[in-house]
Amino acid sequence: MAETLILGIESSCDETAAAVVAGGRRVLSNIIASQVDLHKKYGGVVPEIASRKHLEAVLPVIKEGLSAAGVTLADVDAIAVTHGPGLVGTLLVGLSAAKALAYATDKPLIGVNHLHGHIAANFLADEPPEFPLVCLVVSGGHTDLIYMTGHGQMELLGRTRDDAAGEAFDKAARSVGLGYPGGPQVERLAAFGDPEAVPLPQARTEAPYDFSFSGLKTAVLQYAQKKGPLADQQRADLAASFQRAVTGVLADKTLKAARAMGVRQVIMAGGVAANGALRRAMGETLAPHGIRLGFPPPVLCTDNAAMIAAAGHYLYEAGVRSNLDLNAIPALGLL
Ligand code: KG4
Ligand code: ZN
């Protein structure tokens, strides 16, 4: 029997993306039209501009996604689309396109939770992770530790009490004079800095698997203001010290959760999982305990549609189908 082909469509923030995934594993195409350059000068995503750009890009990106995969719409088994969480205006663009295509071709429509997509990106690998596992979700809006026994079967162990890890990276970036999006720029600058140079508060919380990053964010801002204007080396040192503080607490708490749940597999999901220092810290923390660490390649960590197609694949196999009245849910939760 031929492999199931899923067309994925993603438009929750500032990337218009379309991808075709075969058998839930093989990425046949992964087209991403980023709007980053457009929003840079505003220091963040401007929702109205984003919606308008998605509208221009969505059909060409879908067409390219299909042609790069060497398939036509008639070949796909289902159309999977992000319906939340995200910006309502941008979500509606991808969702409306997916509905129109599903209606016109009489193909099943499958609404996908964007966060489940980030997690599913881990299974687009030659050696997919094994359940049960603990997953650290670290994106622009989320920092969650979850226990998973199967696709879509998850239990929340802990989460951030205030800022998400990605948000903390973006705000720290601003404090050291870097623009949007902050995460990758902080990582590049931190490579030239000494992570021991600036004493910063460890982001501790009482609850064993919860996080808090707002104190750390404030400490970075206060240091920058007190010592400013910072020389290049001081900026790099501050970025490196901040990155060490964030990655350290993420790795420590993930290990604690993995040991408490008795799992031998940990995975990471979301934009911050692209961070090399976090990947190293997690690997070094987990390896001595015989716990395997998985993470997607960087391009599948940040927003893309291959992950939406992958999550859609598992829903398709489970018989899940959405109706054409499927709505965008900006605050859709992980569970
Ligand atoms: O998952 P994502 O692309 O979008 C959301 O669903 O939120 O995550 C975006 C977040 C941003 O805060 C961005 O600064 C952060 O991920 N990020 C990084 C890196 N690449 C993206 N943070 C640290 N290091 C990176 N290399
Ligand atoms: Zn995302």
Pocket test for ligand 1, best of 83, 91, 272 (most atoms within 8 A of CB): 272
Instruction: For the chain, 335 residues long, give each residue's pLDDT as a single digit of tens.
Output: 689 999 999 999 999 999 999 999 999 999 999 999 999 889 899 999 999 999 999 999 999 999 999 999 999 999 999 999 999 999 999 999 999 999 999 999 999 999 999 999 999 988 999 999 999 999 999 999 999 999 999 999 999 999 999 999 999 999 999 998 899 999 999 999 999 999 998 777 889 999 999 999 999 999 999 998 999 999 999 999 999 999 999 999 999 999 999 999 999 999 999 999 999 999 999 999 999 999 999 999 999 999 999 999 999 999 999 999 999 999 999 99
User: If we measure between CA atoms, which residue out of 201, 204, 195, 139 comes closest to residue 167?
Assistant: 139
Whole-number pLDDT of residue 146: 98
Residue 180 Cα to ligand 1 middle (Å):
11
Q: Atom 16 (ligand 1): residue with closest C-alpha?
A: 271
Measured from the alpha carbon of residue 308, the closest ligand is 2
Nearest-atom number in ligand 1 for the CA of 12 is 6
Q: Atom 13 (ligand 1): residue with closest C-alpha?
A: 183
294 pocket-lining for ligand 1 (C-beta < 6 Å): no
Positive or negative, the CA dihedral 10, 15, 21, 25 is negative
Helix (H, G, I), strand (E, B) or coil at 228: coil
For the chain, the domains span 5-120+300-317, 131-295
Nearest-atom number in ligand 1 for the CA of 270 is 1
110 pocket-lining for ligand 1 (C-beta < 6 Å): no
Whole-number pLDDT of residue 205: 83
Q: What is the pLDDT of residues 237-295, one digit of tens each?
A: 999 999 999 999 999 999 999 999 999 999 999 999 999 999 999 999 999 999 999 99
Residue 50 Cα to ligand 2 middle (Å):
15
Nearest-atom number in ligand 1 for the CA of 187 is 24
111 pocket-lining for ligand 1 (C-beta < 6 Å): no
Residue 38 Cα to ligand 1 middle (Å):
17
Residue 200 Cα to ligand 1 middle (Å):
22
Measured from the alpha carbon of residue 302, the closest ligand is 1
CB-CB contact of 240 with 200 (8 Å): no
187 pocket-lining for ligand 1 (C-beta < 6 Å): yes
Nearest-atom number in ligand 1 for the CA of 164 is 12
Q: Report the C-alpha gap between 304 and 259 in whole angstroms.
A: 31
Residue 300 Cα to ligand 1 middle (Å):
11
Hey, do 5-120+300-317 and 131-295 end up sharing a CATH topology, with the first three levels equal?
yes
CB-CB contact of 110 with 44 (8 Å): no
For 24-55, b/e burial (b = at least 16 CB within 10 A) is beebbbbbbbbbeeebeeeeebbbeebbbbbb
Residue 72 Cα to ligand 1 middle (Å):
32
Whole-number pLDDT of residue 2: 86
Tally the C-alpha atoms within 13 A of residue 157's C-alpha that lie toward its C-beta: 20
Q: What is the pLDDT of residues 79-98, one digit of tens each?
A: 999 999 999 999 999 999 99
- With 0.95 as the threshold, say if the pTM is over it: yes
Whole-number pLDDT of residue 315: 98
108 pocket-lining for ligand 1 (C-beta < 6 Å): no
- The CATH label, of 3.30.420.40, 2.60.40.1230, 3.40.50.300, 3.40.50.1820, for the domain at 131-295 is 3.30.420.40
Architecture of domain 5-120+300-317: 2-Layer Sandwich (3.30)
Pocket test for ligand 1, best of 139, 217, 242 (most atoms within 8 A of CB): 139
Whole-number pLDDT of residue 206: 83
CB-CB contact of 284 with 266 (8 Å): no
> For all residues of the chain together, what is the average pLDDT?
96
Q: Report the C-alpha gap between 248 and 202 in whole angstroms.
A: 9
195 pocket-lining for ligand 1 (C-beta < 6 Å): no
